[in-house]
């Protein structure tokens, strides 16, 4: 009976391998829990089987312990069956199957019947299990594929979204750049228009001012000419009167009206005073003329007076052998310079004549006793001219230095 059971098991395994499972185009790994895995076996070592999924041959390499595997059926028809420890055991191949003649005559009928029943049962179970495995695997494969497709879809959407975002940023950047260029251009055009309008207004204003000045200069020139003729006539009359009274003649533009030049030679101090109260410039009172020249002329005039006064005193004292001048303080005498007429001169002039374009001054010089107020000396100076200089202040400075030079000629 024991031999009968062993024969039955051998026949069942052989039938299971030969009849129940035809050859496949891939390897089949059957786990001990009945799960089939379609695979491509890559390596079978002492404890593990390495394989790739047949439906994803470019995918990762999986590793499974032999202890989890019941049998591996290869696509070439060979098989590996593993025991509980993961070791291979001999397998009865399908070609050399036991026959009925090899069994005991007494068990012939029973063996045929068992073989037939076993074959039918094996086929039925195999088909049933195969269908279950296929359904499970198809379901799992479908889920995996759906997951892969979903991931690929998400990645694709993210990539497209990223590309669209980059493209949008580029377009926005270009738009902003164009706006900046247009804005700068509009701003530049506006500035140019404003500048042109301003220049045009200034040009018209200058033209009007020039025309106005020319008219005024003509008018003033006419008045000045008339006044000059009048003053000249008056001076001639005064000179005639003085001549009749025994007065001296003019020397270098300076004429003694009264008193004695001795006081210029005395070794005494005198406070110098410049009087511009009745000064006329080009037919106008001094302050009116300065205002016509601009606010800077009015503002700078007091400072210019001090500068001119200082230069006059410096030159006079440097050359004098008698009287010493001071600008402030107390002294026995006063040297008062009344400036009746003044011309600031100009830069233009005859280049061969250093006096051409120089400033001119006319008026009177008085030496007064500080204690009594009595005039000790009175002198008239006419058209004293300095050398040509770049600024009006310098031209006036040299005119007064020329006056000091000529006054010193009268000192004994």
Instruction: Judge if 8 and 138 occupy the same domain.
Output: yes
Sign of CA dihedral 79, 9, 19, 127: negative
Residue 66: φ, ψ to 5°: -65, -30
Among 95, 114, 148, the domain-final residue is: 148
Strand partners, 280: 285, 341
Range of the domain at 61: 2-148
Average pLDDT of every residue of the chain: 80
**pLDDT reported for residue 345:** 83
Indicate if the pLDDT at residue 322 is higher than 60: yes
**pLDDT reported for residue 300:** 93
Instruction: Judge if 142 and 257 occupy the same domain.
Output: no
Within a domain: residue 220? no
CA-based nearest residue to 166, from 154, 177, 158: 158
Among 87, 119, 148, the domain-final residue is: 148
User: What's the average model confidence in pLDDT over 375-397?
Assistant: 90
DSSP letters spanning 50-103: EEEEGGGTTSPPEEEEGGGEEEEE-TTS-EEEE-TTS-EE----SSSPPPTTTS
Within a domain: residue 154? no
352, 297 contact by CB (below 8 A): no
* Among 227-241, 255-269, 300-314, 320-334, the least confident range: 227-241
Residue 48: φ, ψ to 5°: -135, 160
pLDDT tens digit string along 135-177?
766 666 667 777 878 888 888 899 998 899 998 898 888 888 8
pLDDT higher at 404 or 233: 404
* Among 83-92, 190-199, 294-303, 352-361, the least confident range: 83-92
Q: Which percentage of the chain shows pLDDT scores above 70?
A: 72
Within a domain: residue 81? yes
**pLDDT reported for residue 181:** 74
Within a domain: residue 330? yes
Give the CA diameter of the chain. 197
Indicate if the pLDDT at residue 16 is higher than 50: no
Within a domain: residue 306? yes
The number of distinct structural domains making up the chain is 2
Indicate if the pLDDT at residue 110 is higher than 80: no
3-state secondary structure of 241: helix
**pLDDT reported for residue 96:** 43
**pLDDT reported for residue 84:** 57
Instruction: Give the pLDDT band (50/70/90) at residue 219.
Output: confident
Instruction: Judge if 143 and 287 occupy the same domain.
Output: no
Instruction: Judge if 257 and 403 occupy the same domain.
Output: yes
Q: Return the number of other C-beta atoms located less than 10 Å from residue 139's C-beta.
A: 10
Within a domain: residue 390? yes
**pLDDT reported for residue 102:** 46
**pLDDT reported for residue 52:** 96
Instruction: Give the pLDDT band (50/70/90) at residue 38.
Output: very high
Q: Rounded CA gap, 254 and 398, in Å?
A: 17
**pLDDT reported for residue 271:** 95
Q: Rounded CA gap, 36 and 26, in Å?
A: 12
Among 95, 128, 148, the domain-final residue is: 148
pLDDT tens digit string along 125-140?
666 766 776 676 666 6
pTM summary value: 0.41
Instruction: Give the pLDDT band (50/70/90) at residue 232.
Output: low
Element (H, E) at 36: strand 36-44
* Among 208-212, 230-234, 344-348, 398-402, the least confident range: 230-234
Within a domain: residue 191? no
Give, in order, the Cα–Cα distances in Å from 399 to each of 114, 207, 349, 360, 381: 155, 33, 16, 6, 12
**pLDDT reported for residue 308:** 93
User: What's the average model confidence in pLDDT over 65-84?
Assistant: 89
The residue to which tokens 């991931």 are assigned: 151
Contacts of 116 by beta carbon, 8 Å cutoff, 6+ apart: none
Within a domain: residue 224? no
């Amino acid at each position: 009976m024991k031999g009968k059971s062993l024969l039955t098991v051998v026949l069942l395994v052989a039938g299971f391998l030969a009849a129940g499972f035809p050859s496949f185009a891939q390897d089949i790994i059957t786990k001990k829990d009945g799960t089939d895995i379609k695979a491509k076996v890559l390596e079978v070592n002492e404890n593990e089987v390495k394989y790739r999924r047949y439906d994803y041959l470019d995918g990762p390499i999986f590793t499974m312990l032999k202890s989890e595997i019941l049998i591996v059926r290869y696509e070439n028809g060979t098989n590996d069956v593993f025991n509980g420890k993961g070791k291979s055991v001999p397998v009865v191949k399908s070609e050399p199957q036991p026959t009925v003649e090899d069994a005991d005559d007494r068990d012939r009928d029973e063996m045929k019947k068992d073989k037939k029943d076993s074959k039918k049962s094996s086929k039925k179970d195999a088909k049933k299990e195969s269908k279950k495995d296929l359904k499970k695997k198809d379901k799992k494969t479908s889920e995996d594929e759906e997951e892969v497709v979903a991931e690929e879809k998400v990645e694709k959407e993210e990539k497209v979204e990223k590309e669209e975002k980059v493209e949008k940023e580029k377009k926005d950047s270009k738009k902003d750049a164009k706006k900046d260029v247009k804005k700068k251009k509009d701003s530049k055009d506006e500035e140019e228009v404003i500048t042109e309008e301003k220049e045009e207004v200034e040009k018209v204003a200058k033209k009007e001012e020039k025309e106005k000045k020319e008219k005024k200069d003509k008018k003033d020139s006419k008045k000045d000419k008339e006044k000059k003729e009048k003053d000249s006539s008056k001076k001639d009359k005064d000179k005639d009167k003085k001549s009749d009274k025994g007065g001296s003649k003019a020397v270098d533009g300076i004429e003694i009206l009264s008193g004695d030049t001795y006081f210029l030679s005395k070794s005494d101090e005198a406070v110098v005073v410049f009087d511009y109260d009745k000064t006329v410039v080009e037919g106008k009172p001094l302050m009116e003329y300065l205002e016509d020249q601009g606010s800077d002329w009015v503002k700078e005039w007091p400072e210019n007076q001090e500068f001119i006064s200082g230069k006059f005193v410096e030159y006079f004292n440097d050359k004098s052998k008698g009287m010493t001048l001071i600008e402030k303080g107390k002294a026995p005498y006063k040297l008062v310079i009344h400036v009746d007429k003044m011309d600031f001169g100009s830069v233009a002039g005859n280049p061969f004549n250093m006096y051409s374009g120089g400033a001119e001054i006319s008026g009177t010089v008085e030496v007064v006793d500080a204690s009594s107020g009595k005039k000790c000396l009175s002198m008239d100076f006419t058209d004293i001219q300095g050398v040509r200089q770049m600024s009006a202040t310098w031209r006036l400075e040299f005119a007064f230095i020329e006056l000091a030079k000529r006054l010193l000629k009268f000192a004994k």
